[in-house]
């Protein structure tokens, strides 16, 4: 069962049907009757993902002004990502996020001052990312508005997008990591189930080969702390946080932009 579109209640059936038609996805009136795949659940003011197979996990939202995202802004543990991308002094690289997912790292980078293109192959995730961006632009928090104004969503295969003008390509293969909270595991499992329905989902190693051939200054890959380098490609250097490591591939002079 691929991703379906379902209404949160009978009152939003027409809206859910319209979204299903726009996204070219199957509409179902009641997702609870299904036991596999993922549902994009449409409500009056927001939407979410719901994994359908057992065990049923909680809903997965994208909300750039959520308490969790605001905590990440203040906690300081975003520094390793910023350093890996090349944020330093007044320098704010232009970033192509080739695996946008739920957009959390992209938001962090935008909050640090980078312009970020969020490229996502999953149609339902693209819909949620754009909806979250539009809602965040109406936030009462000026910092959130400033950050999302630096973000734009691109739907489709990252390898088919125009890369000119970017300084960095960022890749997060979404590998499971030890010690993750139940909430993060729920989000990861749901997104992986969504990508599992896509026969054309990019292999991370292929994505790295593609990224290294692009006209950018560096490629950054997010990895679990103790995991081997992606594709066994030795990075120029790595920046390690508490639970993740960022492998940085600095392109030779003349091989970048």
Contact 109, 95 (CB under 8 A): yes
Contact 47, 128 (CB under 8 A): yes
Residues 213-237: tens digit of each pLDDT: 999 999 999 999 988 999 888 999 9
Query: The pTM is what?
Result: 0.90
Percent of the chain with pLDDT over 90: 63
CA dist 45 and 40 (Å) reads 14
Phi, psi of 236 (to 5 degrees): -65, -40
Token pair belonging to 116: 């970020």
Mean pLDDT to the nearest integer, 65-81:
75
Q: Secondary structure of 44-97 in the HEC alphabet?
A: CCCEEEEECCCCCCCCECCCCCCHHHHHHHHHCCCHHHHHHHCCECCECCCEEE
Residues 111-130: tens digit of each pLDDT: 999 999 999 999 999 999 99
Give 184's pLDDT tier (boundaries 50, 70, 90).
low
Mean pLDDT to the nearest integer, 65-71:
82
Cα-Cα-Cα-Cα torsion 57, 59, 61, 65, nearest 10 degrees, comes to -100
Mean pLDDT to the nearest integer, 100-110:
93
Residues 136-150: tens digit of each pLDDT: 999 999 999 999 999
Give 71's pLDDT tier (boundaries 50, 70, 90).
confident
């Amino acid at each position: 069962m691929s991703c379906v579109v379902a209404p949160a209640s009978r009152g939003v059936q027409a809206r859910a049907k319209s979204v299903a038609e726009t996204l070219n996805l199957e509409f179902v009136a009641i997702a609870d009757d299904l036991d596999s795949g993922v549902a994009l659940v449409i409500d009056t003011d927001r939407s979410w993902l719901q994994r359908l197979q057992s065990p049923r996990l909680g809903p997965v939202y994208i909300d750039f002004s959520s308490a969790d995202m605001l905590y990440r802004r203040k906690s300081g543990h975003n520094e390793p990502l910023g350093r890996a991308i090349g944020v330093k002094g007044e320098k704010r690289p232009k970033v192509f996020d080739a695996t946008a997912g739920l957009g959390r790292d992209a938001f962090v980078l935008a909050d640090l001052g980078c312009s970020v293109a969020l490229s996502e192959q999953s149609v339902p995730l693209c819909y949620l990312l754009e909806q979250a961006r539009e809602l965040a632009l109406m936030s009462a928090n000026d910092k959130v508005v400033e950050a999302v104004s630096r973000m734009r969503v691109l739907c489709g295969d990252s390898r088919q997008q125009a890369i000119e003008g970017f300084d960095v390509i960022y890749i997060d293969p979404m590998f499971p990591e030890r010690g993750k909270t139940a909430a993060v595991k729920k989000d990861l499992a749901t997104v992986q189930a969504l990508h599992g329905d896509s026969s054309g989902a990019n292999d991370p190693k292929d994505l790295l080969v593609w990224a290294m051939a692009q006209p950018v200054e560096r490629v950054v890959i997010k990895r679990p702390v103790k995991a081997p380098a992606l594709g066994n490609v030795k990075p120029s250097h790595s920046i390690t946080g508490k639970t993740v490591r960022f492998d940085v591939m600095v392109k030779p002079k003349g091989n970048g932009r």
